[in-house]
Structure 1
Amino acid sequence: MFHLPFPVSGPIWDANASRGSKDLGDLPEWDLSDLYTSEDAPELKRDLDWLEQACASFAADYEGKLATLDAKGMLDCVLRNERISAIAGRIMSFAGLRYYQMTIDATRAKFMSDCQEKITNFTTPLVFFTLELNRLEDDHVAALFAANAELARYKPVFDRIRAMKPYQLSDELEKFLHDLGVVGDAWERLFDETIAGLGFEVDGEPLNIEGTLNLLTDHDRAKREAAAQELARVFGMNIKTFARVHNTQAKEKEIVDRWRGMPTPQTGRHLSNDVEPEVVEALRNAVVAAYPRLSHRYYELKRKWLGLDRMQVWDRNAPLPVEEIKTVDWPTARGMVMDAYAGFDPRMADIAAPFFDKGWIDAGVKPGKAPGAFAHPTVTEVHPYVMLNYLGKPRDVMTLAHELGHGVHQVLAAGQGEMLSSTPLTLAETASVFGEMLTFRKMLEGAKTQSERKTLLAGKVEDMINTVVRQIAFYDFECKLHAARRGGELTPDDINDLWMSVQAESLGPAFDFMEGYETFWAYIPHFVHSPFYVYAYAFGDGLVNALYAVYEENPEGFQDKYFDMLKAGGSKHHMDLLAPFGLDATDPAFWDKGLSMIEGMIDELEAMEG
């Protein structure tokens, strides 16, 4: 029941962040003092000491005795476990957020690693808890729930734990794997630190990875090409390190999966997402079948707009020729997102406001800061923190809307408590993508010219292709990677070939692929941190498109149902959450409903050409 990893959620787009600008206004920074004031804070030492004692006494009181507990005794046990999760989560949130602010700072890296090791050691005695729970008979557990309504509230947590029952190992082996977790974490840190430490140079200007990726959206085609070539050069120089990380992580996963008897490499992710394999397969198949109607068709349109005979990979995220070079300063971005949120429901804007005013957002681009963007829920008795690399691009406004959506969701779900607030990845993207959609629709309403409308529509289609088509292609790449690794060590060329096998299929016939593009798998963090995470983005986008269609068709009472869904956190299955909206993700037609919204936008763009 206890979980240690520091979760990072939120999209890390291929090309949407990096070099700072002096014209963006006063960018906020985190104030982490709501967690702890410093790494030397007496409260932090107090909590570490408490945690060590609490874990030891929990094990002494309950190990070997869960089967003897009555309903009240089991509730007390669950509440003590929840408190341990909250304190451990608070410590790791503080250590992790400080580290992500400056990943190249050795003292921050050491502090995070030391905290992780201590907490792993403290919590090893707790491993018995889920193992013993899973040895209880179904009738016994049902009787406990029937006897105590407060305990019954935790049924979804018990259900998710008991879903792992067929794959459970002996108590001794489970403790061994728990302890070994810090080794896998070290490989993740090697990846993070390697990425953050990469140096690039374009037209004589030294850049980090964010700055270089950012140039892939530059108006100047020569600059985009130079950035793509430089990315390929640097990835190529470091490809052995990235291949080693992927080989090791995939092999470790294969060993654990084999010992657990997991039927596929994806099984563990599906279980943690509380989603049926056939639902994911239906999503994947619907998206792949739609490639010609979505990405292939859109990129053919874009090729014509750019006046090119062939598209190159550095043209994929190019701005349109009619697009003005526009920098959106921070106060304007805040106003745009807050207006969109308030327009949907004032309660949503009220929840979002403290993020801007109380140091819950870290927005600026700084040397050594982790790339991309995320929203971290920390623990339910504190509040979430949002990280951005804000550069003032219109896409950065959408990233703000996205991450703030996560934040709103996490605030609303906090009422469920530590164990029930956490939402499976598939549903975790709901509020974030919905926040983006609200902001996009608000911007579209305000478009003053046909060309501005075209630019906005094209930008949204591209974001959706990045979120749906591209992420499913990433998922297929991962499926191939893990399957191939079962046959032995993979060379960098082996991995490159797997990457290229999904690129042409997903992007379509408009593209040529430069030499060196085959290494661009190397910097995608999800492959290393969270295998098979990526399909959650496509799941979330499809779900939100279907939800938004319901909102447009029948707005009456939608807001209350939407807030109820977010407040539920992880306390309900996706079928129960979607039922009030008349939606069912197990129905293959559900995914077509979401994909048809993207298709409709491409239809409108094609009609503008007529």
Structure 2
Amino acid sequence: MTTDTYSEVWNLDVFFPGGSRSAEFQEHLRQTEELIKKFEANVNSWRPANSLEDVNYLQKLITDIENSAQKLEQARSFIDCLLAQNTGDKQSYSLDSKITSLNASFQAALGSLDILLTSIDEEVWHKIVDTEALNELAFVLTESREQAKEKLSKEEEALINALEVDGYHSWGQLYDLIVSQIKVAVKEDGDKKLLSVGQAHNKFSSTDRRVRATVFKNWEEAWGDQAEFLAKTLNHLSGFRLSVYEKRGWEDVLKEPLSINRMEKKTLETMWTVITENKQKLVQYLERKAKLLGIEKLSWFDLEAPYGNNDSKVSYQEGADFIERNFAHFGDKMAAFAKQAFEEQWIEAEDRHGKAPGGFCTYLPESKQSRIFMTYSGTPSNVSTLAHELGHGFHSYAMRELPYLNCNYAMNVAETASTFAEMIVADASVKNAKNEEEKLALLDDKIQRTVALLMNIHARFIFETRFYEERKHGTVSTDRLNEIMLGAQKEAYCHALEEYHPLFWASKLHFFITDVPFYNFPYTFGYLFSLGIYAQALEEGKGYEEKYIALLKDTGSMTVESLAKKHLQVDLTEKDFWEKAVHICIEDINEFLHLTENK
């Protein structure tokens, strides 16, 4: 147990003092722009000799990439933190646009380089990446080369990158701006208050159903007021993406997200098939939860309702101590990392007005530090979220000494590390419960996340798949977006709910993120994949940490199928692994159903 009290506000001044007005940050951007221009010039002046002579020049370009990318990522992470901590920071929005522009130039140069790599003969290419100088980067370099073969010409791809600044990424930025203005009305202590969407969302975990229902009604109205603007935003964002796909000859909208996640379509299809075949047990949990709450059927606003009437809160300090203590049971390095994050103020957790909704972890590569953002209000879910984001941070920590190009791991394996950390804490909470009622409450909180990852995320995937197919034929109206979402939710939840959330497409940031398309299925993959890792960790005990770190180090330089084969000895395209993973989830539900049988 620590003696000092951890701060709930992060320290960003250690990077660039003065926030969005920082002179040091302006200088950082100037240096970033210079490095990108140097990289562009070096790419444009290279004419591959189609021989081993290319190795030296390629090494020089890789140095350019690493220098530019680290500075760009440092800047992007810093601005993301500024925008999250204060959605009214107008100067940060301006800087965000500047970084987007710089990134477009950088991506265009990368695209040009990738196309140059395709001009090298296959036999010569294998000799180049087999050299001692480049062998460590063989996977990522070959991956870039192969992906370039499926894109347009150098000039066309450069034009796309240039147009993305105002024709694509700006729509995602507009979404952030709209959301920053949304307020949700609630009543607290008899007074009417206007909360940010982040603060209002925490009310869905209230023990009082009337509070949840009222907040949900006002929540729907608040998002409904902005629905036309948000529908236009989503349509133009997706329209740009589909236009690019069409020009490249890509008919399947999943081609890019699967490629980004280094994942085969068969793996994705097998995962969803196994989940769908096992959903009846999740439905039984939802039915039992409704009975315990004294209602016929749960509604959307009941999904995060806690079990029982225990309104006790876990202080931020208590939550931090609990995480540190249980990370230590798994491994010393993970515990030491968490302690450093708390002590050095890497975490923004304060519950206050003006913050963005949700939570995230971002990495600042030049500083080799992470920053974690969330709004902590003392619920068990908040503790789980905190552990989840620390898991992301530990992933970056484990890879900190690798070549920068080998640190670009995909979202699906990123969610593996975070979910693994979350499970350590969730399992410990259940095992340390003081009595049966507390155990049930903690089991319920744990199962809620299973429902979210196997049903909510499935609804998002179904919605986005159907929306993109309709968007190919023209703009999709607000009413139709609501219909598609409602249908997706009913299917994903097996019609188990009374009332749904048709405006979920508007309230969920993930549909508007431009950096990564289909920001949904990787969560479910990461959750179930981490269960396989977690099962091994339980078998082997504390000594498993080094094996776990070895797996994390490989996440940036392997397909997920190869990663699973090497570290878990399983085939992800077959049902067996997924069935075992889902069965672990079902064990929690069976225990919950058993303990509540006579309640």
Query: 1:52–1:122: 8 Å Cα contact kept in structure 2?
Result: no
Could you say which residue in structure 2 is the equivalent of 1:16?
none
Mapped pair 1:55 → 2:43: no
Query: 1:202–1:227: 8 Å Cα contact kept in structure 2?
Result: yes
Between the aligned partners of 2:224 and 2:43, the Cα distance in structure 1 is 53
Q: 1:149 aligns with which of 132, 142, 147?
A: 132
In the superposition, relative to structure 1, how do residues 140 and 199 fare at CA in structure 2: closer, same or farther (>3 Å)? Answer: same
Mapped pair 1:545 → 2:526: no
Mapped pair 1:164 → 2:147: yes
In the superposition, relative to structure 1, how do residues 66 and 90 fare at CA in structure 2: closer, same or farther (>3 Å)? Answer: farther
Could you say which residue in structure 1 is the equivalent of 2:72?
88
Residue 310 of structure 1, CA deviation = 2.7
Query: 2:256–2:517: 8 Å Cα contact kept in structure 1?
Result: no
1:549-596 per-position Cα deviation (integer Å, ceiling 9, x unaligned): 223344484222111112334023323433233233222221111111
Could you say which residue in structure 2 is the equivalent of 1:498?
484
Task: Supply the AA of the counterpart residue of 2:230.
Answer: F
Q: Map 1:13-162 onto structure 2 (within 5 A).
A: 27-38=7-18, 39=20, 41=22, 43-63=24-44, 65-68=46-49, 69-121=53-105, 124-146=108-130, 148-162=131-145
Query: 2:7–2:345: 8 Å Cα contact kept in structure 1?
Result: no
Residue 498 of structure 1, CA deviation = 0.5
Q: Map 1:491-570 onto structure 2 (within 5 A).
A: 491-513=477-499, 517-529=501-513, 530-555=516-541, 557-570=543-556
Secondary structure class of the residue paired with 2:406: coil
In the superposition, relative to structure 1, how do residues 315 and 58 fare at CA in structure 2: closer, same or farther (>3 Å)? Answer: closer
Task: Supply the AA of the counterpart residue of 1:30.
Answer: W
Task: Supply the AA of the counterpart residue of 1:552.
Answer: L
1:60-114 per-position Cα deviation (integer Å, ceiling 9, x unaligned): 3342525224323322221222111112222222223222221222122112223
Secondary structure class of the residue paired with 2:404: coil
With a CA cutoff of 8 Å and minimum separation of 6, indicate the structure with the bigger relative contact order.
Answer: 1
1:122-157 per-position Cα deviation (integer Å, ceiling 9, x unaligned): 7645542122123322222111122x2231111121
Moved more, 240-249 or 96-105: 96-105
Secondary structure class of the residue paired with 2:473: coil
Structure 1 gap ranges (5+): 1-24
Query: 2:111–2:148: 8 Å Cα contact kept in structure 1?
Result: no
1:20-59 per-position Cα deviation (integer Å, ceiling 9, x unaligned): xxxxx76432222343224555544444343333333333
Secondary structure class of the residue paired with 1:376: strand
Between the aligned partners of 1:118 and 1:165, the Cα distance in structure 2 is 21
Q: 1:574 aligns with which of 560, 565, 575?
A: 560
Mapped pair 1:400 → 2:381: no
Could you say which residue in structure 2 is the equivalent of 1:234?
222
Could you say which residue in structure 1 is the equivalent of 2:157?
174
In the superposition, relative to structure 1, how do residues 76 and 502 fare at CA in structure 2: closer, same or farther (>3 Å)? Answer: same
Secondary structure class of the residue paired with 2:372: strand
In the superposition, relative to structure 1, how do residues 122 and 440 fare at CA in structure 2: closer, same or farther (>3 Å)? Answer: closer
Between the aligned partners of 1:166 and 1:197, the Cα distance in structure 2 is 43
In the superposition, relative to structure 1, how do residues 59 and 491 fare at CA in structure 2: closer, same or farther (>3 Å)? Answer: closer
1:254-298 per-position Cα deviation (integer Å, ceiling 9, x unaligned): 10111111131111111111111111111122222222222x111
Moved more, 505-514 or 85-94: 505-514
Query: 2:313–2:379: 8 Å Cα contact kept in structure 1?
Result: yes
Query: 1:217–1:318: 8 Å Cα contact kept in structure 2?
Result: yes
Query: 2:361–2:392: 8 Å Cα contact kept in structure 1?
Result: yes
TM-score (norm: length of structure 1): 0.91
Secondary structure class of the residue paired with 1:377: strand
In the superposition, relative to structure 1, how do residues 394 and 286 fare at CA in structure 2: closer, same or farther (>3 Å)? Answer: same
Paired residue total: 582
Q: 2:181 aligns with which of 183, 197, 222?
A: 197
Between the aligned partners of 1:35 and 1:581, the Cα distance in structure 2 is 39
Query: 2:42–2:61: 8 Å Cα contact kept in structure 1?
Result: no
Query: 1:34–1:382: 8 Å Cα contact kept in structure 2?
Result: no
Task: Supply the AA of the counterpart residue of 1:310.
Answer: K
Residue 455 of structure 1, CA deviation = 1.3
Q: Map 1:398-547 onto structure 2 (within 5 A).
A: 398-513=384-499, 517-529=501-513, 530-547=516-533
Between the aligned partners of 2:23 and 2:224, the Cα distance in structure 1 is 46
Could you say which residue in structure 2 is the equivalent of 1:262?
250
Task: Supply the AA of the counterpart residue of 2:263.
Answer: V
Between the aligned partners of 1:303 and 1:550, the Cα distance in structure 2 is 35
Moved more, 180-189 or 335-344: 180-189
Q: Map 1:159-308 onto structure 2 (within 5 A).
A: 159-183=142-166, 184-203=168-187, 204-294=192-282, 296-308=283-295
Query: 2:412–2:523: 8 Å Cα contact kept in structure 1?
Result: yes
Could you say which residue in structure 2 is the equivalent of 1:606?
593
Sequence identity of aligned pairs in percent?
24
Between the aligned partners of 1:373 and 1:342, the Cα distance in structure 2 is 24
Between the aligned partners of 2:558 and 2:405, the Cα distance in structure 1 is 12
Moved more, 236-245 or 61-70: 61-70
Between the aligned partners of 1:509 and 1:120, the Cα distance in structure 2 is 44
Query: 2:199–2:375: 8 Å Cα contact kept in structure 1?
Result: no
In the superposition, relative to structure 1, how do residues 129 and 502 fare at CA in structure 2: closer, same or farther (>3 Å)? Answer: same
TM-score (norm: length of structure 2): 0.92
In the superposition, relative to structure 1, how do residues 569 and 352 fare at CA in structure 2: closer, same or farther (>3 Å)? Answer: farther
Task: Supply the AA of the counterpart residue of 1:50.
Answer: Q
1:340-370 per-position Cα deviation (integer Å, ceiling 9, x unaligned): 1001111111122221111211111333221
Could you say which residue in structure 2 is the equivalent of 1:590?
577
Moved over 4 A (4+): 39-43, 121-126
Moved more, 331-340 or 380-389: 380-389
Query: 1:224–1:315: 8 Å Cα contact kept in structure 2?
Result: yes
